Amino acid sequence: MSRKDNHKLLTEGPVSKAILSLALPSCISMLVTSIYSIVSTFYVGRISTQATAAVGISFSAMSVIQALGFMFGQGSGTYISRELGARHQKNSEQMAAVGLVHSLLSGLVLGLAGLLFLRPLSVLLGSTPTILPDTMVYLSWVLMATPFIMGAIVLNNQMRFQGNASYAMWGIISGALLNVILAPILIFVLNMGIRGAGISTFVGEMFSFFFLLMMYRRTDDLKLDLRNFVWGKGYFKEVLAGGTPSLTRQGLASISIALLNNAAGVYGDEAIAGMSIVSRIAFIFLAATIGLGHGFQPMCGFSYGAGLYGRVREGYKYVLKIGTVFMLVCAAAGLIFPEALVGFFRHDPKVIEVGAATLRWQCLSLPLVPLVMYTNMILQTTRHPLQANIMAMSRNGLFFIPVILILPRILGLRGVEMAQTVADVMSAILAVIVILRFFRKLPK
């Protein structure tokens, strides 16, 4: 699609068509990522319970890396979509270079720091003595991949916010498929165990980055040229305004996972493994919902930049309706087949018992998550950083952290299992208040 046609679709075309045309590639990439998550968890689950728990613990470190990547990616991407909507081409091209360069430099520093303090970092994230060796092996490869992870996230988001979701899709799919193929060879054929899982993750992330870089050069909306990089507070301020909600959300997700692992660790490695599996299942359920939101954000940014506020309202209502219905279906499946879903990843009676109970609680609040998610997205895309950060803090921080610190002391393991559900209900109440105020102030 040409630059002109893309602008016309996002600012003048039917809202449903504009959103779904961008959401479909995003949903496919999220689906492939979810399948990769399933397969990798399945492979690691065949190694040992400790290996399964180690990957779950490393996931919290991955969340921090992704948080910074999304800060630069969403921060630069939301600005790019608004500027392209207003037809400010040069500003968009400079922001593209600024977002990528800052992400690569930050990733290099973060990865080196993590490797220098690998053991204390692993313990801080919730490793027990029995899990620690596997955690250090797997986490070291994740840290070495940090610049590639962050760079790939930035490239993916920038292309998506330009309306080039199909190019972004192929970049994500390529690395995930390579990882799925490579992991069993390294883990089982070459008998490398958890180290093989780490190496396959590193190779997959590196491949995704370079493939996305190649696809970016084929986009028509703007060209990525590092000569457009400029030092200065102006662009970085815009990155922070649009990206800090992602940093807040993902960063608090990392903290919440670490707190969850520590709370579950009191009840054994099996409890940590069970919580880790449920986190993966919930991500699978949310994948299509996130993809739908990714289709909404470029249309929202272009329309807001062009002053078409009615389209912003219409788009939000559309994705909220579709997303909620979809999550109702997923929640029903989780409530009916919790043991089968958890048991698919790990055939351990204790893991299944804890995981199934946690999944039941999680499914009770899953239909509320699209409300929280899309409220956060619309505020972030339209440059309302304060409100967007409040919403980003709610689900994994503002409400979850107090709940996970207090509830297990009262209810024991049951308190750990139901903590996310309680936080989701509180977040949904806050989202209703925030979005109603936003629409009252939005010009007609």
What is the Cα–Cα distance from 194 to 44, expressed in whole angstroms?
A: 7
Backbone angles phi, psi at 110, to 5 degrees: -65, -45
> What b/e sequence results for 30-40 when a residue is b if at least 16 CB atoms lie within 10 Å of its CB, and e otherwise?
bbbbbbbbbbb
CB 154 within 8 A of CB 100: yes
pLDDT in tens, 138-183: 999 999 999 999 999 999 888 888 877 777 778 778 888 888 889 8
Handedness of CA 83, 10, 31, 172 (dihedral sign): negative
Least confident piece of the model among 1-5, 50-54, 122-126, 204-208: 1-5
Residue 368, pLDDT score: 95
Q: Name the residue with higher pLDDT: 350 or 329.
A: 329
Residue 227, pLDDT score: 75
Exposed / middle / buried, residue 429 (Cβ in 10 Å: 0-12, 13-18, 19+):
middle
pLDDT > 80? residue 386: yes
What's the rounded mean pLDDT across residues 39-48? 76
What's the rounded mean pLDDT across residues 407-413? 88
Q: Where are the alpha helices (DSSP H) in 86-117?
A: 89-116
**DSSP states of 217-276 as a string?**
TT-SS----GGG---SHHHHHHHHHHHHHHHHHHHHHHHHHHHHHHHHHTT-HHHHHHHH
Q: Name the residue with higher pLDDT: 379 or 1.
A: 379
Report which of 90, 62, 239 is spatially closest to residue 148, judged by C-alpha positions.
62
CB 96 within 8 A of CB 162: no
Residue 130, pLDDT score: 86
**How many Cβ atoms sit within 10 Å of the Cβ of residue 22?**
28
- pLDDT above 70 covers a percentage of the chain that reads 95
Residue 3, pLDDT score: 60
What's the rounded mean pLDDT across residues 269-291? 82
As given in the structure block, the two tokens for residue 330 are: 């997923």
Banded model confidence at residue 364, pLDDT cuts 50, 70, 90 = very high
What's the rounded mean pLDDT across residues 268-291? 82
Q: Please give the mean pLDDT across all residues of the chain.
A: 85
pLDDT > 60? residue 1: no
Residue 423, pLDDT score: 92
Residue 37, pLDDT score: 67
**How many Cβ atoms sit within 10 Å of the Cβ of residue 337?**
14
Q: What is the CA radius of gyration of the chain?
A: 21
**DSSP states of 352-373 as a string?**
HHHHHHHHHHHHHHGGGHHHHH
Task: Look at the chain and count its residues.
Answer: 444
As given in the structure block, the two tokens for residue 341 are: 């879903």
Contacts of 110 (CB under 8 A, 6+ apart): 64, 65, 68, 143, 146, 150
What's the rounded mean pLDDT across residues 382-410? 88
Handedness of CA 262, 264, 270, 274 (dihedral sign): negative
Residue ranges of the domains in the chain? 3-441
Q: pTM for the whole thing?
A: 0.75
Banded model confidence at residue 5, pLDDT cuts 50, 70, 90 = low
What's the rounded mean pLDDT across residues 358-386? 91
Q: Where are the alpha helices (DSSP H) in 306-337?
A: 309-336
Residue 166, pLDDT score: 77
pLDDT > 80? residue 253: no
DSSP state of 129: T
pLDDT > 70? residue 429: yes
What is the Cα–Cα distance from 403 to 420, expressed in whole angstroms?
A: 8
What is the Cα–Cα distance from 120 to 409, expressed in whole angstroms?
A: 26
Banded model confidence at residue 2, pLDDT cuts 50, 70, 90 = low
Banded model confidence at residue 86, pLDDT cuts 50, 70, 90 = confident
pLDDT > 80? residue 35: no
Residue 221, pLDDT score: 62
Residue 306, pLDDT score: 83
pLDDT > 80? residue 32: no
> What b/e sequence results for 384-409 when a residue is b if at least 16 CB atoms lie within 10 Å of its CB, and e otherwise?
bbebbbbbbbbbbbbbbbebbeebbe
Report which of 222, 208, 218 is spatially closest to residue 170, judged by C-alpha positions.
208
